[in-house]
Structure 1
Amino acid sequence: MRRWGPLTAVCLGTFMLLLDVTIVVVALPDMARALDASLSDLQWVVDGYALALAALLLGAGAAADVLGRRRVHVAGVVVFAAASLWCGLASGPQALVVARAVQGVGAAAVFATTLPLLGSVYQGRRRSAALGVWGAVSGGAAAVGPVLGGLLTAGPGWRWIFLVNLPVSVLAVWLTLRVVPESKGPRGMRVDWAGTVAFAGFAGGTTYAVVRAGADGWTAPATPVSFAVAALALVGFVLAERRAAHPLLDLRLLRVPAFVGVMAGAFAFNGVAFGVTPYLSIWMQTLLGMSPVRGGLTLLPMTVAAMVVAVLVGKLLHGVPARWTVGGGLLLIGAGCLCQAVLDAGSGWTALAPGFVLVGIGTGFVAPTVAGAALAAVPAERSGMAGGAVSTVRQLGYALGVAVFGTVLTSRMADALPHGAAHTLAGGGAGALRGTYGEHALRDAFATGLDGALVAAGVTGLVAGVLVVVLLRPARGERVAVPEPAAAAPAGPRASARG
């Protein structure tokens, strides 16, 4: 217990927070029916969690260095557990969205302290082994999420996808307090609160603007106002980072092309690979008539391919330049999304299978190597900052991907259906529309919308892949290679298997 107890405690927290990124996807149609939720509500159920996690991750890490990593970790688990109970008892969509955002706050505290806690306990070969186990647990949580979510939704009900976190949280807190020693960062560290608030405003304002654009249109007053607020917050973030003694992000790193390329690749990765998945789940359950369990199982081709390839990449491609693992993986993911964009009114889920496999293979290349590529692109003393930045942009990419591709989906559906009907259909309300529109019309409209979203995702993936290959081109006589893959375990949806 003394040797591996800390690893067990940390992995319990990691398992929970990554599970909650993926477990929600297959339960969205049941949530929509039970809470009378709209498409925008469902988008925020997914995005509220990812956005809070992304916005506060760097700030939580800095706070943990000052206040104590174990203390912040335990506080994060407690907040996460309380928010999970709130999610399970939510009586309406607004309450669920707020509870999911609070879950993300707790998850940020947990995730930001995970690797520092492991690094303070384990050294040398044991650290490598611990990081390998942690990476496997991360991938396993993401892989189990859709299937477990389907089982719980079809069994005791969707609320249990949140309530199941409570006993795990109690065990994680007890074990952490018992076996994990406290650790802090160097003396004199300060929390960059101004940068944290400004970045949260930028991330939240941008995501809100895209969601409102999908619901009300790009010219509706709320959309440009939200974009303006996001732009002001971004300016505030830049000013805060330039003046901060201990900034969340050293802006000088943005002068390094390789670092910029990795950040762009990490941002695109989670959005492209996973941003359309919630809508695929709604399509399969509400129009193809699949159960939540079967809907979760349809993602197995992608999950299995990603896990197998991630293992092979870790064993066989150590030291291969990151431009090929990250850039090549993004090209495969983009190609996989384009392969899925072949849906019509008569399509079944099997039409997605070849594309799922390609996306899974690409994910297996990118997920275990992208953080290592960021570390290789910056000086050693900035490695912690680089790792946190990768995790942050991955979560932000997922949140924006869900919002942007949802907007593309509904805009394409609106070519065949009235705007309100398109939003109802995309939000899982096919049953309410069947009396007005025929089954064939609904399936055709949803397939058209999905094709548009998948094409947008595919093109984005291809552009991001090319950008990574170009920006990570090393200087003459230099090679940007991927350090230890285990230390770069996934930090986003579906992790190495799917976050």
Structure 2
Amino acid sequence: MSDQPAATPDPLAAPPNRWRILVAVLFGLFAVNVTVTILAVSIHRIAGEFGTAESTMTWVVTGPMLAFGVVGPLVGKLGDRIGMRRIYLWGLAGAAVMSAASALAWSAGALIAFRTLGAIEGAATGPASFAVISRIFPKEERVRALGYWSMVAAGAPVVGVVIGGPLVEAFGWRALFWGQVPLILTAFAFAFRLFPETPKHLTGKFDVAGAALIAVGVTPLLFALNEGPRIGWTAPIVLASLVLGPAALYGFVRVERVAEQPLLPLRYLRVPGFTYAIVTQAVLNGAYMGSFILTPLLLQNVLGYSETKTGLVSIARPLAFALAGPMAARVVHRVGARKAASGGSVAVVVALVAMATLGASSTVLMVMACLALAGIGMGTAMPPLAASVTVSVEEADYGIAGAAQQMMIQVGVVFGITVMQSVQQTRLPAVGLEASYHWGYAAGVVLAAASVLTATRIASTHRSEAALHPETEPLPAL
């Protein structure tokens, strides 16, 4: 039996208060996501407080990233079944509880566990907000609205990296999470009042087997990517993860082919507008965030910047992203989504090439110009990529589409950070400290260049009217 709703007027179609809903939704998304990476520049300080190794404390950052990637598809599909409002509010409430628990953490293990559990709760806000924005905004406004969504979803963790060091120096890391609690509760109050309910699709069975297999498939691969460079690619646990992950993903595909209500409808993988858009997002975010982690190390280890100065200089990137994201709609109007996404990817490539020339003699202005260009490129590319996904799937699957994006972005981020840091560390003995960063950025150039190629296959036309109404042009065949 089909679970598609009858052809009746959609109560969520362009409500007059849709921009107020957008502000409330994005405030909650920011409140949850800003602390995902906020401790990245303070791992050494926290490790000293708990008397543990820095390598153990890196899981304060990578644990939440893994949770976001694995849990996203599950909560996205669950939201499609029970309603996005309920999922979003549950996510905010759980994130508030885990933030308070993080502030009370008594050991490294407790902090890692609470941060990871908080990310699991917070992961619900991404697919839910994506689905609601995609439904309440008409096509002529959707690219602009998704520009703000992309800015917050990808920008909040970046802002966390920027402000983490100075805030920890001034107030201590526990104060960050105590401060997050009222922030999330405020977001909950606004969302409770304004967040609309979405249609529920309750027919069929929940894909429990698919949910388990995607978790078992993605988690070991991300673990191997994260731990392989540190403990060795031939370590038994890494080799086992590299075998288990693909095997589980193969089982996931087999299960999804026969599932009554699949977690991820595989038919969408045959739609270029969906597949190439999420692949581009993953690869581009990998290069972007990989460089964002390398740059503070370069500034501190080679240029001698303090944590506070590093954070202030790094503001250039999220600020440029924030300005470029909402303006992407105008770019799409003029050149179409394909060219906008491809052009944004090219800008990231150029920025990484420039970063590969930075060294001890580089000025603050040079560094900020490189970072700003990367932010402009990402802010331009992400909205048309997100819009390509929305026009490539059925409305009933907006939640799982948003979750698929979230999962692929997190996989790409972990992959990009790992590859670029691994290349930098591998080249360090041969070429020295400064030149080793050039090699790390060069790996990012390769990733970003790959995103330029995949961006040319997303759903779009060459004219602005068709870009806003993609159904007027048939999707290209694979």
- Counterpart-to-counterpart distance in 2, 1:339 and 1:68: 46
CA contact (8 A) 1:15 1:137 kept: yes
State the aligned residue count.
454
1:103 corresponds, among 118, 121, 126, to 118
CA contact (8 A) 2:39 2:165 kept: no
Residue 161 in 1 paired to residue 176 in 2?
Answer: yes
- Counterpart-to-counterpart distance in 1, 2:389 and 2:139: 22
- Name which of structure 1's ranges 122-131 and 237-246 shifts more when overlaid on structure 2: 122-131
Q: After TM superposition, give the deviation of residue 346 of structure 1 in Å.
A: 5.8
2:160 corresponds, among 126, 140, 145, to 145
Q: After TM superposition, give the deviation of residue 156 of structure 1 in Å.
A: 0.6
Residue 230 in 1 paired to residue 245 in 2?
Answer: yes
> Match for residue 69 of structure 1?
84
CA deviations over 1:357-394 (Å, ceiling 9, x no partner): 33122112112221112233456665554343223211
Q: Which residue identity does 2:314 align to in structure 1?
A: L
CA contact (8 A) 2:303 2:359 kept: no
Q: After TM superposition, give the deviation of residue 155 of structure 1 in Å.
A: 0.9
1:399 corresponds, among 392, 395, 414, to 414
Q: After TM superposition, give the deviation of residue 52 of structure 1 in Å.
A: 1.0
Q: After TM superposition, give the deviation of residue 181 of structure 1 in Å.
A: 5.4
- Name which of structure 1's ranges 187-196 and 364-373 shifts more when overlaid on structure 2: 187-196
- Counterpart-to-counterpart distance in 2, 1:358 and 1:8: 26
Taking structure 1 as reference, are residues 463 and 136 closer, same or farther at Cα in structure 2, changes over 3 Å only?
A: closer
Q: Which residue identity does 1:53 align to in structure 2?
A: F
> Match for residue 355 of structure 1?
370
CA contact (8 A) 1:270 1:394 kept: yes
- Name which of structure 1's ranges 163-172 and 113-122 shifts more when overlaid on structure 2: 113-122
Residue 468 in 1 paired to residue 455 in 2?
Answer: yes
1:448 corresponds, among 435, 442, 446, to 435
Residue 279 in 1 paired to residue 294 in 2?
Answer: yes
CA contact (8 A) 2:96 2:181 kept: yes
1:20 corresponds, among 18, 32, 35, to 35
Identical-pair percentage = 28
Tell me the TM-score normalized by structure 2. Answer: 0.82
- Counterpart-to-counterpart distance in 1, 2:427 and 2:218: 26
Taking structure 1 as reference, are residues 187 and 472 closer, same or farther at Cα in structure 2, changes over 3 Å only?
A: closer
Q: After TM superposition, give the deviation of residue 101 of structure 1 in Å.
A: 1.6
CA deviations over 1:435-455 (Å, ceiling 9, x no partner): xxxxxxxxx42x333222211
SS in 2 for 1:368: helix
1:265 corresponds, among 273, 277, 280, to 280
CA contact (8 A) 1:5 1:175 kept: no
CA contact (8 A) 1:330 1:461 kept: yes
Tell me the TM-score normalized by structure 1. Answer: 0.79
SS in 2 for 1:318: helix
Residue 248 in 1 paired to residue 263 in 2?
Answer: yes
Taking structure 1 as reference, are residues 218 and 130 closer, same or farther at Cα in structure 2, changes over 3 Å only?
A: closer
> Match for residue 55 of structure 1?
70
Alignment of 1:83-122 (within 5 A): 83-117=98-132
CA deviations over 1:199-221 (Å, ceiling 9, x no partner): 22222111111222211222222
- The CA RMSD measured in Å over matched residues stands at 3.6
> Match for residue 315 of structure 1?
330
- Counterpart-to-counterpart distance in 2, 1:130 and 1:405: 32
- Counterpart-to-counterpart distance in 1, 2:171 and 2:195: 35
- Counterpart-to-counterpart distance in 2, 1:143 and 1:55: 20
SS in 1 for 2:214: helix
CA contact (8 A) 2:73 2:407 kept: yes
- Name which of structure 1's ranges 313-322 and 243-252 shifts more when overlaid on structure 2: 313-322
2:319 corresponds, among 275, 294, 304, to 304
Q: Mind listing any 5+ residue stretches in structure 1 that lack a counterpart?
A: 417-443, 486-499
Q: After TM superposition, give the deviation of residue 267 of structure 1 in Å.
A: 0.9
Taking structure 1 as reference, are residues 179 and 331 closer, same or farther at Cα in structure 2, changes over 3 Å only?
A: closer
> Match for residue 212 of structure 1?
227
Residue 408 in 1 paired to residue 408 in 2?
Answer: no
- Counterpart-to-counterpart distance in 2, 1:287 and 1:472: 40
Taking structure 1 as reference, are residues 271 and 291 closer, same or farther at Cα in structure 2, changes over 3 Å only?
A: same
SS in 2 for 1:298: helix
Q: After TM superposition, give the deviation of residue 249 of structure 1 in Å.
A: 1.7
> Match for residue 173 of structure 1?
188
- Counterpart-to-counterpart distance in 2, 1:451 and 1:332: 18
CA deviations over 1:464-488 (Å, ceiling 9, x no partner): 212332x34979x999964499xxx
Taking structure 1 as reference, are residues 132 and 269 closer, same or farther at Cα in structure 2, changes over 3 Å only?
A: closer
Q: After TM superposition, give the deviation of residue 186 of structure 1 in Å.
A: 2.4
Taking structure 1 as reference, are residues 481 and 386 closer, same or farther at Cα in structure 2, changes over 3 Å only?
A: farther
CA deviations over 1:35-70 (Å, ceiling 9, x no partner): 455454354322221221121112102212333433
- Counterpart-to-counterpart distance in 2, 1:121 and 1:329: 26
- Name which of structure 1's ranges 189-198 and 142-151 shifts more when overlaid on structure 2: 142-151
> Match for residue 341 of structure 1?
356
SS in 2 for 1:262: helix
Taking structure 1 as reference, are residues 279 and 112 closer, same or farther at Cα in structure 2, changes over 3 Å only?
A: same
CA contact (8 A) 2:80 2:399 kept: no
Q: Which residue identity does 2:182 align to in structure 1?
A: P
Taking structure 1 as reference, are residues 401 and 314 closer, same or farther at Cα in structure 2, changes over 3 Å only?
A: same
- Name which of structure 1's ranges 122-131 and 342-351 shifts more when overlaid on structure 2: 122-131
- Counterpart-to-counterpart distance in 2, 1:101 and 1:116: 24
CA contact (8 A) 1:23 1:146 kept: yes
> Match for residue 79 of structure 1?
94
